[in-house]
Amino acid sequence: MFFGLAASAALLFVVVGFLAGVGITAIGPGGVFITIALALTAASPAVVAGTAGATNIAAGLLGTAVYVRSGELRTAAGKRMAVALSLPGGIGALVGKRVNALVSASEFSFLLGAFVVFAGLLTWYRERYGVGRSFVDPTTRSGTLAVGAVGFAVGVPGGLLGVGGPVLAVPLLIALGVPLLPAVAAAQVQSVFVAGPATAAYLLDGAVSVPLVALIAVPELAGIVVGWGVARRTEPRTLKIALGGVLVVLGAYLMA
């Protein structure tokens, strides 16, 4: 037994944590695997969201560090986009936390799944057909506002379900014309701002399983370093196609 779990269940969480970390820094989605795994247990929706959110804080901090090292978050555009995405995301997360006690988790899961499928198809369509030019420039005022709107929209489900911000932020930013690696990098910063306030609120409610956080977060952090290496060495088009496929499959699962 590990943390009150059977050895097989504990091993499953370790594997899920590692794969989630790879996904977070390679293509964006990843933390949602942890949310799904926790949702399959007997934990309440609040504990699922609070525990998953806590792992997202650790993942976001390390993800931010590795993308600072590789330069995506050292440019003026990268810093501005990260701030524009993160501050509204934190506000949205607190809204989502309050909604957690009011909305049926199954109903919202269906809506979230439909949105994720849409984001995946949008990513695939843009990569397949293109749009001629980028929709937004994050260094302009209008671009900053557009990124901020994405941040808030991503923060609400992040706080409600404990879903990491990158699962939605990355495909939406790509759809707006942001290159893949800068989008993934900015989403790492946002995940801390989304997960931090909501997790603190869940922790005050006693809805965070610290043993599960420890069990999942350690392999997740290892996966983040691996995923960052994959993202730096893989053709962006391949990663975008993979992103679209993962989103469609995850969205269909959430809708089921």
What contacts 167, CB < 8 A, 6 or more positions away? Answer: 28, 29, 30, 31, 32, 116, 247, 250
pLDDT at 1: 45
- The encoded tokens of residue 35 equal 């949310």
Tell me the C-alpha distance between 115 and 190, whole Å: 19
Parse the chain into domains and list their residue ranges: 7-255
- Residues forming a β-bridge with 93: none
DSSP 240: H
The percent helix, strand, coil of the chain (3-state, each to 5) is: 80, 0, 20
Would you write out the chain's pLDDT as a tens digit for each of its 256 residues?
455 567 777 888 999 999 889 988 888 778 878 888 887 787 888 888 889 889 989 899 999 999 999 999 999 989 999 999 999 999 998 898 888 778 776 777 787 788 778 878 877 776 776 654 556 777 788 889 999 999 999 898 888 877 777 878 888 888 788 888 899 899 999 999 988 888 898 899 999 999 999 999 999 999 999 999 988 888 877 877 887 888 888 888 878 7
- Chain centroid to CA 150: 13
On whether the CB atoms of residues 247 and 118 are closer than 8 A, the answer is: no
Angle at 147 between CA 78 and CA 85, to 5 degrees: 65
pLDDT at 213: 92
On whether the CB atoms of residues 194 and 56 are closer than 8 A, the answer is: yes
Q: Is 5 helix (H, G, I), strand (E, B) or coil?
A: strand
